[in-house]
Structure 1
Amino acid sequence: MRTDFARARSVRVKAPGKINVSLKVGPPREDGYHGIASVFLAVSLYEEVLATETPGHGISVTVNGQGTLNLPAASIPLDRSNLAVRAAELLAEVSPGHTGVQLDITKRVPIAGGMGGGSADAAAALLACDALWGSGFSRDELAKIAVDLGADVPFALVGGTAVGLGVGDQLTPAISKTPLHWVLVTSDYGLSTPEVYRTLDAIRLRDGVEPDPRPGIDPAILGAMRAGDALGLAPLLHNDLQQAALELAPALGDILETGRTAGALAGIVSGSGPTIAFLTQSSGHAAELEVLLASEGLQATSVHGPAHGARISQDPQG
């Protein structure tokens, strides 16, 4: 066991963004949330958090942006409304050996893009602070703490592929080892997740649509993912929030059409958007599509999934 003297003074952790390969949304619940049934896929676009011990017990955060971001990092809160800060606070409450900590976040997942970037920050902060403080929690125990931070945080801890029920917090890992290749197109704006859900409710009310109170997952989706069958998966991609995202941001429809014309097997709005995920047949196909979409002036990045969950990315330094 580490002694306090030998304990690490900084820990760096990477955690993945995700796409919703399938997302079905039930009606509003009494608590204001919506029941969902979703297939989460972690992809190879990672947030990074460097946690460094500081004197006292305060928690501070800085943010810098790299890679494919759709909004400036300056738009991210640096107070306790930041999910990473809240994650460190929750862990400190149950960690007798906690110290002050500086969280330096490097963002690569689109901000307010429907890919769970803030949740990945929180997952990375939990794992980093656990190692920094020698708290000794298991991954399952950290996931239980993470539930209080939002449904996407436990998934960012475990990564891979999973079915999410309830509000997304009831996770069941799914077998999916063969990589699937995607091209992400980000936008220069974000969409508010609560606003997208409210818009979906309004659309359903307007159109007289009665949502399934207990949405489920098409087993064929999990079968195609288990087999790494991109052609079989393409017609099964589904997102109940897509219509609402398109109503709030009509330009997304043009991007979807551009991707299909450029040869994508299928395209889907990721979560609440506005990031769009295009499914491709192979890594080579993804690279070609990325170039074609970039030539159309779009912010395109090729990724693959499933990707690993939150992971310490360097040996702690004393």
Structure 2
Amino acid sequence: MTSATVRVPAKINLCLGVGPVRDDGFHPLATVYQALDLHDEIRASLDETGTLSVVTHATEEERADVPEGMDNLALQAAALLREETGVEAGAEVAIRKVIPVAGGLAGGSADAAATLVACNEIWGTGLSRHDLEPLAAELGSDVPFLLHGGNAIGGGRGETVSPVLARGSYHWVLAVAEQGLSTASVYAEFDRLTEGREVADPEISDTLLGALRSGDAELLGLALSNDLTEAALSLRPELQSTLNLGREAEALGAIISGSGPTCLFLAQDEEHSLDIAIALAGAGACADVVQARGPVPGVRFV
């Protein structure tokens, strides 16, 4: 096979518990992931010369925030897979961006997971998704989850993933901010704000897990949580107004997605989702408003 095309979803954190910084600079996390039907598309094409390259198809503003060369996580994924398997061939990786860049939705991690799967296919290395998980974990905390999608509990620094018993489908509205927010800067602000405080080990609430088991959207909305909220709002105070607008539109829950700056609102159903989207768009509170559903599967071939 000379080329393979895959789609990969965005992720959200229904809860994100953050513990005290470890000696290695990472924070222990306790999170519940959900994959949304907002997809990037990645095509990997065989390069017999052994060259690894990446090209990103996105708006000019988004491309400015996408790392180039080996700073791009997708290219790092291809290089890591090649090193692990001893393959000599290269690949050209083309990314069509739909997931907002630096939006707290794991767009870069999604592209890395997709690249692992696509390059595994064109190079004929024959690794299973299970085999790819350790490589995914080396690349980033969110990458292993995006191989599989659905709903899952994340531990460690997020890379230890286990399925969670869940039912139902959920309607979300995403308020995408004008400018992105780097994950590193948000965690640095978290460390600054919590300096001198006692930071507890993170836990996942039984209420949230119970809401997923029963498919209770209202209960889930009440159980949404994010320990990075204070840090994200410290860096971007205007996000509070966006959260308030969603609450005024009677969202079941309002939360900053991951490290931000995307704000996330849970709706009762599709009609309610549209009402929230119209309210946000009408107020001009953000650069874009997106309706999405979850959970959905992880990386899939097109």
Is TM-score (shorter-chain normalized) higher than 0.5?
yes
Instruction: Percent identity, please.
Output: 43
Q: Please tell me whether the aligned partners of residues 249 and 275 of structure 2 are also in contact (alpha carbons under 8 angstroms).
A: no
Q: Does residue 83 of structure 1 match 2:73?
A: yes
For the residues of structure 1 that align with 2:50 and 2:138, how far apart are their CA atoms?
Answer: 22
**Which residue does 1:305 correspond to in 2?**
294
Matched, 1:274 2:274: no
- C-alpha distance in 2, partners of 1:175/1:11? 32
Q: Is the 8 A contact 1:177 1:306 kept in 2?
A: no
What is the alpha-carbon root mean square deviation over aligned residues? 1.4
User: 209, 212, 237: which one pairs with 2:197?
Assistant: 209
Local SS of the residue matching 2:70: coil
Q: 1:124 to 1:98 in 2, by over 3 A?
A: farther
How many Å apart are 1:189 and its aligned residue?
Answer: 0.8
Structure 2 residue matching 1:182: 3-state secondary structure: strand
Residue identity opposite 1:252 in structure 2: L
Please give the residue correspondences for 1:116-127 in structure 2 after superposition, counting only pairs within 5 Å.
Answer: 116-127=106-117
Pairs within 5 Å for 1:162-173: 162-173=152-163
* CA deviation vs aligned residue, 1:248-298 (integer Å, no higher than 9, x gap): 000000000111112211210011100111011112211222122212223
For residues 21 and 84 of structure 2, what CA distance do their matches in structure 1 show? Answer: 33
State the partner residue of 1:37.
30
1:159-203 CA deviation, whole Å, 9 max, x = no partner?
111111110011111122310111001111111212111211221
Which amino acid is 1:274 matched to? P
Q: For 2:243, which of 256, 265, 274 is the aligned residue? A: 256
Q: Is residue 2:90 matched to residue 1:100?
A: yes
Query: Partner residue of 1:283?
Result: 270
After superposition, residues 1-318 of structure 1 pair within 5 angstroms as: 8-65=1-58, 71-205=61-195, 208-212=196-200, 214-297=201-284, 298=286, 299-313=288-302
Query: Structure 1: which 5+ residue stretches go unaligned?
Result: 1-7, 314-318
Deviates more, 1:255-264 or 1:94-103: 94-103
User: Which SS does the other structure have where 1:44 is aligned?
Assistant: strand
Preserved contact between residue 242 and residue 280 of structure 2 (Cα < 8 Å): no
Question: How far off is 1:227 after superposition?
Answer: 1.9
* Deviations, residues 192-219 of structure 1 (Å, cap 9, x unaligned): 21211121122122xx53111x311112
Structure 2 Cα separation of the partners of residues 271 and 107 of structure 1: 19
Q: Deviation of residue 96 (structure 1)?
A: 4.2
**Conserved 8 A contact 1:98-1:133:** no
Amino acid at match of 2:199: P
Please give the per-residue CA displacement for 1:208-240, whole angstroms capped at 9, x wherever unaligned.
53111x311112201101222111111111100
In the superposition, the TM-score normalised over structure 2's length comes to: 0.96
1:278 alignment partner AA: F
Query: What SS class does the counterpart of residue 71 from structure 2 fall into?
Result: coil
In 2, distance between residues paired with 1:83 and 1:94? 16
- Secondary structure of residue in 2 paired with 1:28: coil
Q: State how many pairs are aligned.
A: 300
Q: Which moved more, 1:97-106 or 1:128-137?
A: 97-106
Q: Could you tell me which residue of structure 2 aligns to residue 5 of structure 1?
A: none
Counterparts of 1:294 and 1:256 in 2: how far apart (Å)?
Answer: 13
Counterpart of 2:255 in structure 1: which amino acid? Answer: I
1:3 aligns to what?
Answer: none
Q: What's 1:316 paired with?
A: none
TM-score by length of 1: 0.91
Secondary structure class of the residue paired with 1:43: strand
CA distance in structure 2 between the partners assigned to 1:60 and 1:269 by the alignment = 33
Tell me how far apart the structure 2 counterparts of residues 88 and 117 of structure 1 sit (CA, whole Å): 16
Distance in structure 1 (CA, Å) of the matches to 2:64 and 2:232:
24
